[in-house]
Amino acid sequence: MKVCAFQPQYPYEPGKMDKLVEWLESSLDSCDDSFDLIVLPEACNGMSNFDALNDFQTSIKMYGERLSRKAQKTAERCKALVAINLYVGEEGVYRNTTQVYDKYGNLAGEYLKQHLPESEVKEKKIDDSYAHEYQSPYTIDVDGVRYGFLTCYDCYYTEYIQHISKQKPDVLIVCSLQRGERMDMLETQMKNAAFNCNAYVVRSSVSMGGEDCKYGGSSMIVSPNGEVIAAMGQKTGLLCSEIDPKVKHSRPDTFGHPDILND
């Protein structure tokens, strides 16, 4: 299957949200029916660094439904799975949600971010009440492929990733907005997730600047053995690769013994 991760430029000022949304829409328009999975970054309708809560919520309402419809139409047109992360909800009660549309344009699943940083809850007033009690990691099965999910801050919680591994996913969809983490650490996180879940990782995030920038960026595709098979660094654009989601990594069963599946 052909997978694709978007990496736009981060909109440092709220006034650049229009340009970001136009870029996302144009990039979706550039996709065709050769794609099987398309992944967009986190917080597509409220990504910038807003000074006021009201401005942030205005952005959510202004772009949310518009981008959701665009993702749906793209999935239907391309006969692909499209994953887009948005702040979704009613007035004053929004949740960090990864929406997944299938090749018919149907909503195949919605993943709610499980680990929200304090700033997202206290400053942006994003609802995390659903995450106060344990729930089994969320997966969806589409056309014989099982998809698991991680969103941004989730990636720091290795014990959660180990719980995901029990669901035996084939592909992990990672929508992210990790702007302040070192690029080498982001790569380590994705290798860890891929290896522990014995699954491919498709990570979409945002470029924070030029190639001299050492933080953020790092949209990538990682194989189950932890190999980074494609990476964006700080470039902007679409990162694409062919993968076989049913290929699994086998590891040595101690020295001198046959390999066994890494699960």
Query: In this predicted model, what pLDDT tens digit does every residue of 187-232 receive, in sequence order?
Result: 999 999 999 999 999 999 999 999 899 999 999 999 999 999 999 9
Give the model's pLDDT for residue 250: 82
What would the two tokens of residue 101 be?
């549309």
Burial of 189 (0-12, 13-18, 19+ CB in 10 A): buried
Give the model's pLDDT for residue 249: 86
pTM, entire model: 0.96
Query: Tell me: the pLDDT tens digits for 29-46?
Result: 999 999 999 999 999 999
* Distance in angstroms (rounded) separating the CA atoms of residues 37 and 78: 10
Give the model's pLDDT for residue 261: 85
Domain ranges of the chain: 2-246
β partners of residue 89: 94
| Residue numbers of the chain with a pLDDT score lower than 50 | none
Give the model's pLDDT for residue 43: 98
**2-246 belongs to which CATH class?**
alpha beta
